[in-house]
Structure 1
Amino acid sequence: MASIRMLSLSCALALSLAAPAHAQDGGSSDRTRISGTIFANASDREGDFDAELKRFFVNIDHDFNEDWSLHFTSDVQWVRDSDPTDLWVPHMYLQRRLGQNASLQVGSAPQPWIPRMTKLNGFRYVDSPLLARAGVGSPAEWGVHLKGQQGAASYAVSVVTGSGYKKPTLGDTPDVEAAVDWQLADGWTVVLGGYRGRRAQDRGPGGVEHTATRLNAALAYVGEAGRWGVEGFEADNWNRINRVEPDESRGWSTWGSYRVAPEWTVFARHDRITPSRLLDPGAENEFSQAGVEWSPSRNLRLALAGKREEIEMAGVRRSGNEFGIWAQLNY
């Protein structure tokens, strides 16, 4: 199985290197751009060594004119112990510029919170951000998205289906997610956000018992040589829309990295999640990672990292370790 995955990763790398040349040879217009990103790793997880294609993004951007544009992103992954996934479409939206500092996007577009945290953390290819790991958020949704900036503050508001981009469905009422951040002096950023809705689970025979809500806050620093941040959330009834008993979850994450040489960076992260504070108060998830990154060019990043996760649920505690190499290739 590992050899098959290695072959698939090699094919993906070959396709990524060939894509720009193909676009250029085809005489594509300056209004259309093709790019992509690959996340891959080869690691040992409790004695199981295998290679994984975590993400294979292909992006197509087309500008109709100065104000109108179209963006499309496809995604495929192949992780251990699973067959290749279906083709996902995390981004497919029409964008209208609203002046110099705002835009309106209609379709499946980035949500206000998770992409912002991914940018601040800087190591998405090694692991997903906090909300994705906790299962209380999506990086993209179908709906209407307004984004803009006013001075040192930027904002994002999304009115969406709430069902996620992988299997989108419609509910009777839309969900709303919003975030605002302030760029402080010397690289510091404060971000606040929230979510409210029924996650497209208010249609059908099941009764609506609760509305899902989430509050977020983060403080981060991004400088020339390093970055640091802390993020927290509190979510109520995220998976209890049609259940009588309410529940709550909370979590926080802190991360840091420092460039010790032009091509070398050390990084670390720690998360703690309490997924069921009312129904299973003893449940918790602790996650830690640390590693060193080598980045010989703007298009290639390689990280040698170790991870440890401890999960307690219904009084049973499990732990696991992983060690290997993670890679990000941009083309």
Structure 2
Amino acid sequence: MRSKLLTVAIAAGLGVTSFSALAATPKSQQPARVTVDAATLQQLQAQLAALQAKVSELESKQEAQADAQIETAKAVNDVQVAATKPTEDLSKKLDALNKLVDNTHVGGTMFFDVSNMSHSEKIGTNPSNHKDGHGATNGTGFDVKRFYLTVDHKFDDVWSANLTTDFNYQSTLSQTSLFVKKAYVQGKFDPLFTVRFGAADMPWIPFVEKWYGYRYVENTITDRSFEGGRSGGTATAGGVGAFGNSSDWGVHALGATTGDNSINYQVSVVNGRGYRNLSRSKSVDAEARFGYSPIEQMVIALGGYSGKRGNDVEDGVPTRTASRGDAMVAWRDKTWGAGAEYFHSENWDDILKYQGTGPGVGVAQGTVKDKADGYSVWADWHFYDQFAVFARYDHVSYKYTTLTDVERELKDKYYNAGISYDVLKNLKLALVYKHNQLDGPFATPYHYKTNEVGFWGMLSF
């Protein structure tokens, strides 16, 4: 079509030009009229027909070229769309991966030490001798007391999950252990109401650890192993152990506010055997804590525990209910830290010692009972940049009755002192001296003393 219009325009132009030129020529100079015969006219018509054929051919080529351009553009667009789809799929996968990474945190905490330990025992009037036993091994060694590997994942603003493994190695005992310390699903519905299902922190021990600040040097008093107990004339390594669990399997409800005049609480209903023993019994145990902070740097807390410690089993010998009461007052700011903790327990050891296999079965079993009182005081001072000095003193009085209803008492004294250095924000080192002394009952006296000096550290990431 464009070619036909072009041809007509050229012809019209030529005609107009010829007409104009002819009109501008004087009549005297205008050529005479020319007569065209039939043969000439036929020749001109043939030339015009040939010209029209050429124009039609050119128009067909132009239309074919336009169609080819349209097909090419369509093919290019299809290729572009096909190339964009994998990119979009990859982008979606990358977005999902980024979301997973952003909502998942992997971290760890390691407690380690290298120290020299000297342990001696004295029974009755016999001389004191260096020997291994009751949780102490003489010599020098490197220990990884704890290595916690933690994975936290947040599903949304309410639901999340936590998995924390607990690994420890002690070179002096050639012992390596791996446990699941925490494994729970959490729903946080309000700052004052969070629920955890599974193995999670118990209300008391982890709470005290945060205010104490030197867990990597020593466990808190209710979590520190007490190697005494009523086991005849001498204590054994299977004594009372700790007076509480830092983590246990069950349901945990907790909450807290922040700032001055804030409160915090936690209530846990658990199996009672601790995170290392996922067992069943006919009843469950309960532990609770309530804390109040008149100012942000200070806390006053009360707590309690009651239950069978997971030993209320079918066909087992009936036992009393173990109980523990707790109290703490603590202060911590950027320079100073200080606190005091107290606990009182009853029948904590009775449940583990008498289950129908030893003395105390039947009638005599009803006369056996125990109780313990303990307190711990600590303080630390950051006197220069990353340096701090710290000290702590613990005292535990453990009393039990024999099968003849005679009361016996064991006393445990522990203290440490040292200087710490914050090498990095997540790496702490401390030079520490520790002393522990256990004195047995008067009737069959024994005295265990342990001195230890070395470096303790904590690495977190």
TM-score normalized by structure 2?
0.64
Deviation at 1:149, TM superposition (A): 2.1
How far apart in 1 are the matches of 2:176 and 2:347? 29
Deviation at 1:58, TM superposition (A): 0.3
RMSD: 1.6
Contact 1:76 1:84 in 2 (8 A): no
Residue of structure 2 in register with 1:20 after alignment: none
Residue of structure 2 in register with 1:41 after alignment: 113
Contact 1:219 1:230 in 2 (8 A): yes
For residue 103 of structure 2, the aligned residue among 31, 49, 55 is: 31
Deviation at 1:275, TM superposition (A): 2.4
Residue 290 of structure 2 aligns to a residue whose secondary structure is strand
Is 1:155 matched with 2:285? no
Deviation at 1:86, TM superposition (A): 3.0
Residue 324 of structure 1 aligns to a residue whose secondary structure is strand
**Do the aligned partners of residues 58 and 225 (structure 1) sit closer, same or farther apart at CA in structure 2, a change above 3 Å counting?**
same
Q: C-alpha deviations, 1:90-142, integer Å up to 9, x for none?
A: 10000001223321000000000000110010000001111011411000000
For residue 143 of structure 1, the aligned residue among 230, 238, 250 is: 250
Deviation at 1:204, TM superposition (A): 3.3
Contact 2:389 2:418 in 1 (8 A): yes
Residue of structure 2 in register with 1:289 after alignment: 416
Residue 177 of structure 2 aligns to a residue whose secondary structure is coil
Residue 190 of structure 1 aligns to a residue whose secondary structure is strand
Deviation at 1:312, TM superposition (A): 1.3
Equivalent residue letter for 1:238: W
Residue of structure 1 in register with 2:391 after alignment: 268
Contact 1:141 1:161 in 2 (8 A): yes
How far apart in 1 are the matches of 2:147 and 2:350? 33
Identity within the alignment, %: 30
Is 1:253 matched with 2:376? yes
Higher relative helix content: 2
Equivalent residue letter for 1:201: N
Residue of structure 2 in register with 1:6 after alignment: none
How far apart in 2 are the matches of 1:101 and 1:194? 20
Residue 176 of structure 2 aligns to a residue whose secondary structure is coil
Equivalent residue letter for 1:44: N
For residue 234 of structure 1, the aligned residue among 303, 328, 344 is: 344
Residues 212-221 or 236-245, more deviating? 236-245
Deviation at 1:57, TM superposition (A): 0.8
Residue 131 of structure 1 aligns to a residue whose secondary structure is coil
Is 1:323 matched with 2:446? no
Residue of structure 2 in register with 1:183 after alignment: 293
Is 1:59 matched with 2:164? no
How far apart in 2 are the matches of 1:235 and 1:85? 31
Equivalent residue letter for 1:140: S
Aligned pair count?
306
Q: C-alpha deviations, 1:44-84, integer Å up to 9, x for none?
A: 00161111010111000001111000000001101143233
For residue 91 of structure 1, the aligned residue among 159, 179, 182 is: 182
How far apart in 2 are the matches of 1:310 and 1:196? 29
Q: C-alpha deviations, 1:147-179, integer Å up to 9, x for none?
A: 012561110000000011112211111100000
Higher relative strand content: 1
Residue of structure 1 in register with 2:310 after alignment: 200
What runs of 5+ residues in structure 1 fail to find an aligned partner?
1-25
Contact 2:322 2:345 in 1 (8 A): yes
Contact 2:141 2:172 in 1 (8 A): no
Is 1:300 matched with 2:300? no
**Do the aligned partners of residues 226 and 277 (structure 1) sit closer, same or farther apart at CA in structure 2, a change above 3 Å counting?**
farther
Task: Kindly report structure 1 stretches of 4+ aligned residues shifted beyond 6 Å.
Answer: none
Contact 1:163 1:170 in 2 (8 A): no
Contact 2:247 2:275 in 1 (8 A): yes
Contact 2:169 2:177 in 1 (8 A): no
Residue of structure 2 in register with 1:10 after alignment: none
Contact 1:248 1:278 in 2 (8 A): no
Deviation at 1:186, TM superposition (A): 6.1
How far apart in 2 are the matches of 1:132 and 1:171? 23
